[in-house]
Amino acid sequence: MFLDESEQVRKIKNLDCGFRIKVDHEDDLWTLSQICTPGSAVGMLSHRRDSTTGTQENSRAKGAERKPMWIVLEVQSSSFHSFTENLRVHGIISEAKLDIGNHHTHIIVPGSEIEISREGGLSETDISLLAKSFSSGKQVNSGLIVVENDEILLFEVTQYGMRDVSQFSLRGGGKRYSDTSGIRDGFFTKVAKETILVFKEQIPLIICGPGLARDIFEKIIRNMGINNEILNSPTSIGGRSAANQILTDGLADSIIGKNALIYQIRTIEEGLRRISINGNVCYGQAQILEAAKQGAVEKIVILASVLRSEDSGMNLLWSNIIKDIKISKGEIIQSSSDHDSGEQLSSFGGAIALLRWKLD
């Protein structure tokens, strides 16, 4: 199965039943974690100890030479924790210079080049997710800084989630020392130094929060000679809620408006809004199935993990639903759960469909 020319992306090469992929970014690992599932085959350059070079017969002594070789695994499981720098794929060796039939683990990191395939080819949902994730127009991640007098929160906004980076608090509470600007400024200076270490120059920063504390923090960090693009945006609330307000209300769209995560969040929020007013929307597999049969689904946002359940019957049913939606020219958005809106989506069965008209 092949990508259309319009979908062809520079980091993917077509194979007969899959693709050869160059992993350039940590965000790519989340995408691959959704696709490197049981039933797939994953090949990459890896290493195995050659027992013939060891000091003990038929052993894998620690002194045995580790030889580089191309190893293809029949995937049994994968292990990935959000915002980590590697994806571990476990399986049985099906192709290699030695040890066919033995267990092995591929550790996939940015810079790895892998081949992933499945008998009969990858599914349309897998191909779609790959095409969007590995497109040459991928947006740079952003730093999101929520500033209050006594607390500063650092987040990283990626293409699939929002990561908690650090939390800094002024001992005793900044409000208590609101008239003692020196104490607060010292606190802000310390956090600004940490911020510069965390976010590289190419990462744009969004400084937000209620009140004027964010303006003081921006002045301090700019005086340190930071070269990052900075957007200062007021919010009506502080804490993590301020970060969510930035994402949902479009307060920083000049920086993150084209981010895939933002599109997911806006679609989920629109679905929740329609649910609250009994609008053109449905959720739950049975209702979505009926809407898809009628051609009523304009857009569906669904957790990527839901489309790849271990329940084969469930997978087949969702696959048929997705086919019906595509036939009626509906849009399919595969979402992660690594943000607050994604967690809300989970509570609605993992999918919400925006409809062209209300179901009877």
CATH (domain of 99): 2.30.30.870
pLDDT digits (tens, 9 = 90+) for 139-194: 678 999 999 999 999 999 988 889 899 999 987 554 444 456 788 899 999 999 99
Residue 225 pLDDT: 92
Residue 26 pLDDT: 81
CB 233 within 8 A of CB 252: yes
Residue 5 has pLDDT above 50, yes or no: no
Boundary-marking domain end, from 199, 231, 256: 256
pLDDT digits (tens, 9 = 90+) for 299-341: 999 999 999 887 878 888 999 999 999 999 999 999 998 899 9
Residue 352 pLDDT: 98
**What is the rounded end-to-end Cα distance, in angstroms, of the chain?**
38
pLDDT digits (tens, 9 = 90+) for 184-239: 899 999 999 999 999 988 899 999 999 999 999 999 999 999 999 999 999 999 99
Tell me what the pLDDT averaged over the chain comes to. 87
Q: Are residues 150 and 233 in the same domain?
A: yes
Boundary-marking domain end, from 256, 280, 296: 256
Q: Are residues 249 and 275 in the same domain?
A: no
Structural domain contains residue 360: no
Q: What is the token pair recorded at 197?
A: 């270490």
Structural domain contains residue 261: no
Structural domain contains residue 203: yes
Structural domain contains residue 262: no
Domain that holds residue 318: 267-355
Number of domains in the chain: 3
Q: Give the strand pairing for 331-335 and 297-303.
A: parallel
Boundary-marking domain end, from 220, 236, 256: 256
Q: Are residues 328 and 304 in the same domain?
A: yes
User: Rounded to an integer, what distance in angstroms lies between the CA atom of residue 147 and that of residue 151?
Assistant: 6
Residue 272 has pLDDT above 90, yes or no: yes
Residue 177 pLDDT: 46
Q: How many CB atoms lie within 10 A of CB 210?
A: 17
Q: Domain holding 285: CATH number? A: 3.30.1330.30
